[in-house]
Structure 1
Amino acid sequence: MEHLDQKKKISIMLAIMAAMLFAALNQTIVGTALPKIVGELGGFEYYSWVFTSFMLASSVTAILVGKLSDTYGRKPFILIGIGIFIVGSFLCGLSENIIELIIYRGVQGFGGGMIMSTAFTAVGDLFSPRERGRWQGIMSGVFGLASVFGPTLGGYIVDHTHWKWVFWVFLPVGIIAFAMIFWLFPSIKRTEKVPIDYLGSLFLTLTIVPLLLAFSWAGSRYDWASTEILGLFCAAAVALILFIVAERKAKSPVVPLSLFKNGIFTISNAVGLILGAGMFGAIMYMPFFVQGVMGTSATQSGFIMMPMTLAMVLASTIGGQLITKTGKYKLIALTGLLTMAVGMYLLSLMTAATSVPVAVLFIIIVGFGLGLAFPVFTLTVQNAVDQKLLGVATASTQLFRQLGGTIGVAILGTIMNARMNSKIGELMEQNQGALPTDPEVLETLEFLQDPQVLMDHQKVDEFLLSIPQELQLIVQDMLNLMKDALSFSLTGVFFIGSIIMLSAFILTFLLKEIPLRTSNQAPAKDEASQGTE
């Protein structure tokens, strides 16, 4: 599609970005709305599955569709993806219980995986690697905008209308995107019969699903050393071995193992995995600090996080333009990763006395670094592989980033809980004389021993009004202890996050910077097959 005129390319990109915005908004809008949705549907114990079902379905679908789109073209899969996502969104709004919502979110995930996989690959079809930097940056900005407006809009919808509109409000955007892609996106004709790697697809799915579940549940639902978690890891390991055996024998493997001999492909995906861990670490745990330690409301927390996303959008756009203009990307990637590492370290220095402007400044630094680095490693992979492998290579970058995020959240969450429990025990021992010993009083104050209560300021205020005045000072002391423990645990998480990002920075030095091609021709083997300098 590189031969198309610029006007038609831009029209196609507008359609692709509309599809991506449709999918991204439907992901980000759910977070703030879900507590109220679950409150009406019931089934709080299955709360996490509303996210997990989407993650599993989208992760598996993205990598499988990557290979299929290399064979059959991008158009049918992005159209099918939008269609499935529209149906899934509509069904989510019709859910009458939590199980139905989980199933329909899985349907959304199948569609979302197809959209994301083909959308980023389509950029590689339309533009040469030298031109892609600009568009990769803009597309990353689409995710950023969805992250800014989605949560706010989700909260507004559930506060003022029925929650089903969370899933229905963007259906017209999906329909418009479908129509635009149907009319504008060129079709390709299959010239040869390529066998589908059913066995490899099966074993790849059986590797990804238990691996993601193990990291999602470890340290929260089950202990790391529990039978359930170890069983999932073992199942993933066995499936991975069978996958490798199947891929070596397959005529057209779903993920060609030869890609991992390409140093640029391997190092880029390793950095992407680490970047995913750092990115989700900042996004997941910063609101805990802002609300629980600094004492802001959920709404204020959203406004504090917003500058991070806007900085990410700005940086990804600037970085993309610089890559297209100069043809260089390694320095931009290194700058972004180092900036993000510095930002995470600054977050680790915060205390309960940290002012909101200072916290916003630190989170802006993290967002700016993330925006510079995020689009680069998809571009490096696309630039280093043959055009016929563009789909599977691009999908692999998304899979490794998703794995990184899941693994990062699990490990950082475990670190947070361990540090928090250690600190609570230490503080309780230091203040033993000042704390009540009466069993009835202790039972009344039992819920205060969970730092999670710091997130619900209204509940704390109501509790203070319901107890005698002599207990209120004791409650304030206990709340201060919980704040200290939460601050200690989260700053430790941010410090570990800075170390993780620093490791990505160091690893990027090993990435060989080959010239960005000015056409979609196969890269020279002597360049693409080498990954280190």
Structure 2
Amino acid sequence: MPLRRVEGDWRVKLKAVDFVGVFLALAGTAVLLLGLNWGGGEYAWDSAHVVATLVVGAAVSAGFVGWQWKGARVPLVPMHIFRSRIVNGACLTMFANGWNFLVQIYYIPAFYQLVFGYSTVKAGAMLLPITLLQTFSSTLSGLIVHWVGRYRECILVGWVIWAIGLGLFSTLDRSSGLGKQIGYGILTGVGVGNTLQPALIAVQAGVGRRDMAVVTSFRSFIRNLGGTLGLAVAGTIINNLLATSLTSLALTDPEKRSLLSSPHNYLSKLSTEDAEHVRSVLIPAYRHGFRVVFVVGAALAAAAFVVAGWLMPQVELRRVDDEELKEEGKLRIRGNGDEERAGKK
């Protein structure tokens, strides 16, 4: 890649950095995610700790949006990028992508351990069909977009397959064979891969060159935000179902918190008979909780399919200045080569 000489005073460039926006973005996101991680875990959702952090985080995040809209001279996230339908569609679908991806990576091994009784190593190995097929399908879909010049079909097919895969995961029980477990993982991995690379190509094609870096980074931020929120909500769903089922065990509040935070450690301290009794209550509750989490993920994937079909139309991938920029790059490479040869002489 030919390098372009950087010009201008570094002091002027430093003053152009939106430090206020950086502070508001970091503060708002950190406080908001802290409340989401606390809720349903260390503190109840209606506790002062959770309510205060969520309110403050939301207020600071709203302040960040207002600052980017009216206050910043060179904003981190220019508001004009949201005039593009593709940018809005990519942000919404990448939120669902991050939610489902992190939730399945985190909870599928736990699902196999608690429902099927697999060891830690085997439960982790059951993620291989997802991760391997995700890598393969992401690469293949990127090549298909390059060859055909269209991304829309790959994205829509990916969301359909992902919704089917997660929906099938919700049907697994102890009687389900290894073939089903691997097959559903393959479907899920193919769905993940087809929604990643083509969506990146789409969002970059939907804006001008000067905004490509901004929309790419913001897309990744939204994806990470969706993943964090998804983990918090999934954990809350499972913990609430467990807490409801544990009422029959007559445990104290400290014992409930210890069991919910680390079931294996808690069960290891009990006698064999007591541990089996707790497991007889715990495993069905976990199974139900995992099923709900997978169904929610499938519903999100289906909703993302609708959003992608509505807000992510096909646009021309070639730009009018492509050839001009290619020629400019070739000339710069030749110029760099000539300068190096002149320096050696």
* 1:236 to partner: Cα distance: 2.2
- Do the aligned residues in 1 keep the contact of 2:205 with 2:317 (CA within 8 Å)? yes
Q: Tell me the equivalent position of 2:56.
A: 235
* 1:361 to partner: Cα distance: 1.7
Q: Tell me the equivalent position of 1:329.
A: 151
- Do the aligned residues in 2 keep the contact of 1:451 with 1:486 (CA within 8 Å)? no
* 1:391 to partner: Cα distance: 1.8
Of 180, 201, 205, which residue of structure 1 is paired with 2:26? 205
* 1:477 to partner: Cα distance: 4.6
* CA–CA separation in structure 2 for the residues paired with 1:219 and 1:453: 15
- Do the aligned residues in 2 keep the contact of 1:423 with 1:488 (CA within 8 Å)? no
Q: Tell me the equivalent position of 1:351.
A: 173
Deviations 1:69-115 (A, max 9, x none): xxxxxxxxxxxxxxxxxxxxxxxxxxxxxxxxxxxxxxxxxxxxxxx
Of 499, 503, 516, which residue of structure 1 is paired with 2:317? 516
Q: Tell me the equivalent position of 2:327.
A: none
Query: Any residues of structure 2 matched to 1:491-506 within 5 Å, and which?
Result: 491-506=291-306
* 1:455 to partner: Cα distance: 4.8
SS in 1 for 2:21: helix
* CA–CA separation in structure 2 for the residues paired with 1:416 and 1:290: 15
* CA–CA separation in structure 1 for the residues paired with 2:280 and 2:50: 35
Q: Structure 1: which amino acid aligns with 2:82?
A: F
- Do the aligned residues in 2 keep the contact of 1:292 with 1:454 (CA within 8 Å)? no
Q: CA RMSD in A?
A: 2.8
* CA–CA separation in structure 2 for the residues paired with 1:412 and 1:221: 15
SS in 2 for 1:374: helix
SS in 1 for 2:46: coil
Of 289, 293, 302, which residue of structure 2 is paired with 1:489? 289
- Do the aligned residues in 2 keep the contact of 1:293 with 1:454 (CA within 8 Å)? no
Q: Structure 2: which amino acid aligns with 1:399?
A: F
Query: Any residues of structure 2 matched to 1:93-242 within 5 Å, and which?
Result: 186-190=3-7, 194=13, 195-242=16-63
* 1:399 to partner: Cα distance: 0.4
| Residue correspondences, number | 314
Q: Structure 1: which amino acid aligns with 2:212?
A: L
- Do the aligned residues in 2 keep the contact of 1:291 with 1:454 (CA within 8 Å)? no
- Do the aligned residues in 2 keep the contact of 1:307 with 1:360 (CA within 8 Å)? yes
* CA–CA separation in structure 2 for the residues paired with 1:480 and 1:368: 35
Closer/same/farther in 2, CA of residues 499 and 189 from structure 1, 3 Å limit? same
SS in 2 for 1:225: coil
Closer/same/farther in 2, CA of residues 302 and 252 from structure 1, 3 Å limit? same
* 1:503 to partner: Cα distance: 0.9
* CA–CA separation in structure 2 for the residues paired with 1:309 and 1:349: 21
Closer/same/farther in 2, CA of residues 207 and 308 from structure 1, 3 Å limit? same
Query: Any residues of structure 2 matched to 1:15-30 within 5 Å, and which?
Result: none
- Do the aligned residues in 2 keep the contact of 1:352 with 1:483 (CA within 8 Å)? no
Q: Tell me the equivalent position of 2:339.
A: none
Q: Tell me the equivalent position of 2:162.
A: 340
Deviations 1:231-290 (A, max 9, x none): 222222322333233222322112111111222111111110111111112111111110
* 1:225 to partner: Cα distance: 2.0
Gaps of 5+ in 1: 5-185, 429-434, 522-533
Normalised TM-score (structure 1): 0.54
Give identity over the alignment, percent: 24
Normalised TM-score (structure 2): 0.82
- Structure 1 residue 310 and structure 2 residue 132: aligned? yes
- Structure 1 residue 262 and structure 2 residue 67: aligned? no
SS in 2 for 1:509: helix
* CA–CA separation in structure 2 for the residues paired with 1:375 and 1:223: 39
* CA–CA separation in structure 1 for the residues paired with 2:31 and 2:282: 35
- Do the aligned residues in 1 keep the contact of 2:245 with 2:281 (CA within 8 Å)? no
Q: Tell me the equivalent position of 1:277.
A: 99
Deviations 1:282-335 (A, max 9, x none): 111111110011001001111111121101111111111111111111110111
- Do the aligned residues in 2 keep the contact of 1:454 with 1:479 (CA within 8 Å)? no
Q: Structure 2: which amino acid aligns with 1:207?
A: G
Closer/same/farther in 2, CA of residues 476 and 224 from structure 1, 3 Å limit? closer
* CA–CA separation in structure 1 for the residues paired with 2:209 and 2:59: 32
- Do the aligned residues in 2 keep the contact of 1:274 with 1:404 (CA within 8 Å)? yes
Closer/same/farther in 2, CA of residues 519 and 294 from structure 1, 3 Å limit? farther
